[in-house]
Each structure stands twice: as structure tokens, then as C-alpha cells.
Amino acid sequence: MPMGMGRGWGRGRGRRRKLRMIGFIPQVRHFYPAIPPVGQPKPPIFMTYEEFEALRLVDYEGLTQEEAGKRMGVSRGTVWRALSSARKKVSQMLVEGRELIILAEGNEVPKMDSSEGE
């Protein structure tokens, strides 16, 4: 079978990524050190809305990973992976003095959960 003539709809392997419910779109999406680094700056760190939302729900709002997963419409394991990645990126930003840029991936759905006002 010629290249590109495979079965399925996607361009890659596996299933399509589930939509992530995002309850808060950050107003500030770019953080950088107040004092520019000496020498050649390191490349910026990119954080997804999914990672930001997991960090917000668990560390800022104090939800469990299970509760955060329900709000985001994903499994607890997905929240754990996003949270671990977000924490590592924030740590790198602080320790190495690097820029942090928060970007959408395209699979996030802004949604205000009815339980957010409780």
C-alpha cells in the first residue's frame, strides 16, 4: 500500500485525543524573568492549557486528581500526567530563569462548570 493511503482518519497512531474541558482561560500567558539571563538565553518552556488547568484545579483550588479529572472530562491518570508535566515546567522556569508561554493545543473546550460557583 502506498504511503499516505492507510486506513483511518488521523495523521498519527492511536486514538484521537479527547476534548479537555477548561474552566479558566489564563489572561496572562507569557512569563519571563525580570532580569535577562547572562549569555545565550535558553529556549522558552511551553505549557498547554491542559497542563495549566490541571495545575490550577489541584494546586490552586485544592481538588483531588479524581475531582479535577471529572471537571476536565478526562481520567485521573491523564490529570496526573498533565500535573506532573506542569509542575516540572514551572520548576524549570523558576530554577533556570526561563520564559514560560501558555498555549492552546486545539483540543480544549472552554466550559464554565455549574459546580464552580458552589
C-alpha cell at 57: 484545579
Pairing of strands 108-110, 20-22: parallel
Q: How would residue 36 be classed by pLDDT, with cut points 50, 70 and 90? A: confident
Residue with the larger pLDDT of the pair 37 and 42? 42
Give domain status of residue 79, yes or no: yes
Cα 49 from Cα 26, distance rounded (Å) = 8
Helices (H), the chain: 49-55, 65-72, 76-96
Give domain status of residue 111, yes or no: no
CA-based torsion, 95, 29, 80, 63: positive or negative: positive
Output the CA angle 104-43-23, nearest 5 degrees.
20
> 73-104 pLDDT, tens per residue?
999 999 999 999 999 999 999 999 999 999 98
Give domain status of residue 55, yes or no: yes
Give domain status of residue 82, yes or no: yes
Supply the range of the domain harboring residue 55. 49-106
| Whether the predicted model's global pTM rises above the 0.85 cut | no
Give domain status of residue 14, yes or no: no
How many structural domains is the chain composed of? 1
